[in-house]
Amino acid sequence: MRQKKPVKKRVKQLIYRFSQWLARQLLKLFFGCRYCYEEPIPTEGPLIIASNHSSYLDPPSVGAGIAREIHFLAKRELFKNPFFGALIRFYHAVPIRRAGMDWEGLARIREILDGGGAVILFPEGTRQRGGSLGKPRFGVGKLAQETRASILPVYARGTADLRAAFLRRRPMRITYGRLILPGQYEDFELNPRGQLAISGLVMERIAELKDKLETAGNLQDRPEKRENGELK
């Protein structure tokens, strides 16, 4: 017999799901945002959501289109404000230092993935200007090898130029590609070179999503709704 979830946890989940829905509606209303999917996104199991990065708006924009709770990284300074810190913790922000290697933050990410959670990461490591894609760093590949997580490539357009999106000159689009499963990267070397190659593969998939969106526009546009783990 399935045990019922504690009331407090169920309430938090309802608030989280409502927040995702509200974010989608606001992004659509103000910036013409549409969510595009090449295949259903798994609702269970370790998942690295690997997106290009051009704006602070990327984590909530990308996370709002996925029907599960998402963790994301946030610089430690944001947690100094008690109210804002509590708010982003509620939405599963993981504090991390921007300078150097934050082993504590990385350990927390591994713990989330080992527990079957989902985390938004940026293979480029830092924000890129002008809509271009940056060079990959080895972080995504390293975490994938250590946790055997599936990797979901994502291309986010229009999150940096909000004026163009608002005026509908370049509406916001979030496109989710096909999963890279553990079996597709298990033969890569277990060292930084192999990890960088995995991150490179992810960036190639993101570049393909960008090209499809900009040239063909042939991805399926539809809101994220799920029944038995399938998009409807």
CB 153 within 8 A of CB 206: yes
Global pTM reads 0.86
CATH number at residue 21: 3.40.1130.10
Parts of the chain with a pLDDT under 50: 1, 218-232
pLDDT reported for residue 138 = 84
pLDDT reported for residue 143 = 95
For residue 2, tell me if it sits in a domain.
Answer: no
pLDDT reported for residue 87 = 92
221 is in which domain, residue-wise? 7-225
Q: What residues contact residue 206 under an 8 Å CB cut-off, 6+ apart?
A: 50, 51, 52, 123, 133, 153, 154, 155, 177
For residue 139, tell me if it sits in a domain.
Answer: yes
Q: What is the DSSP letter of 219?
A: S
Residue 60's closest CA among 9, 16, 108? 16
pLDDT reported for residue 229 = 37
pLDDT reported for residue 100 = 60
Q: Are strands 173-176 and 230-231 parallel, antiparallel or unpaired?
A: unpaired
For residue 197, tell me if it sits in a domain.
Answer: yes
For residue 183, tell me if it sits in a domain.
Answer: yes
For residue 230, tell me if it sits in a domain.
Answer: no
Q: Quote the number of domains for the chain.
A: 1
159-188 residue pLDDT tens: 989 988 988 888 999 999 999 999 999 999
For residue 119, tell me if it sits in a domain.
Answer: yes
Percent of the chain exceeding pLDDT 90 equals 64
For residue 1, tell me if it sits in a domain.
Answer: no
3-state secondary structure of 77: helix
E-strand stretches of the chain? 34-37, 47-51, 70-75, 93-96, 118-121, 150-157, 173-176, 220-221, 226-227, 230-231
For residue 231, tell me if it sits in a domain.
Answer: no
